[in-house]
Amino acid sequence: MFKPRRVNARQLDERVKAERLAQTLPPLILAAENLVNAFDIGVHGRRRAGTGEDFWQFKQYGPDDPTTSIDWRQSAKREHIYIRQKEQETAETIWIWRDRSHTMNFGSDLSEQSKLDRATLLSLALALSLSKSGEKFGLIGQAEKASTGQTAFNQFVGRISEDQSPSLPDLKAVDQLSNKSTVVLISDFLIEPSEITKVIRHFVNLGCRGILLQIADPVEVDLPFEGRTRFLSMTEEEDITLGRVEVVREDYKSLFNAHRQEVLNIAKNVSWDYNFHRTDAPASEAFAALYTALNIRRVKT
């Protein structure tokens, strides 16, 4: 009888989970770097001078520049007069969230990674590509402002390793995002559709755009078992044993696909992007989908 590899979340305390994450993070960072380097990123950032709040660069004073923008301290150090330019506020900020719920720990023998490891890999790859292209980004739940560059990526890695990201329902309390933000939510979304809708509506009310990436293990999609099979709960629910699992396979797949369609409809109803990713597929496919969706967003704005 085929038995999938499972991680029983009820037996993992917070310390054990943190230690596991610390051990897997360096290989995931390396895999993220390889993933990004293999992808033709190019430079698509939209940073330019404007009326924002953040410093961008010093520029030599010209006849069309207002005198109020002159930086006298910087000019005193140089031969010419310089102005301080701020970054234009039209550039989006990308906020990333990857689910840390118990069900994300699941990984079968049909995939090399658990859902959590795949979600973490994609989050790291996306953050790294954004840092290289000059875009502002951050991890939802972090205290610091979103920023860009290598320092921002190092900060992202530190935050994602702390294992303290908010749950999906808790995202309704996130309010520091501006209306120029795009949120990327990576999860298996194994939660009631009504709860997903509340979270998405919360971000829409903040003026945010978004992308949903639903991750699933191939076992969750196909239920490829035969005969007597015991299913270990990843939450506080009781385990289930079925005498002939193949009898319920089609009904199960119908329910799974119906839930997947509900998540898709939630995204479509607010004009958000949606993608579905199996962990037995190359991570590059999901990364390309995320990157393309973000590019499309920038073209539209």
DSSP state of 154: H
Please list, in sequence order, all residues whose beta carbon lies within 8 angstroms of the beta carbon of residue 102, skipping any fewer than 6 positions away.
Answer: 9, 10, 234, 235
Q: In what order do the strands lie in the sheet with 136-139?
A: 136-139, 93-98, 181-187, 209-216, 273-278
Q: How far apart are the first and last CA of the chain?
A: 53
240 phi and psi angles, rounded to 5 deg: -125, 135
Q: Which CATH number does 9-45+91-300 carry?
A: 3.40.50.410
Contact 135, 235 (CB under 8 A): no
Q: How far apart are CA 206 and CA 179, in angstroms?
A: 6
Per-residue pLDDT of the chain (301 residues; tens, 9 = 90+): 334 444 444 444 554 555 555 566 788 999 999 988 887 544 344 444 444 445 556 667 677 667 777 777 777 777 777 777 665 444 579 999 999 998 999 999 999 999 999 999 999 999 999 998 888 999 998 878 889 888 899 999 988 887 678 999 999 999 888 888 999 999 999 999 999 999 999 999 999 999 999 999 999 998 887 767 666 666 666 667 666 777 778 888 999 999 999 999 999 999 999 999 999 999 999 999 998 888 734 433 3
Q: How far apart are CA 240 and CA 237, in angstroms?
A: 9
Query: Residue ranges per domain, the chain?
Result: 9-45+91-300, 49-87
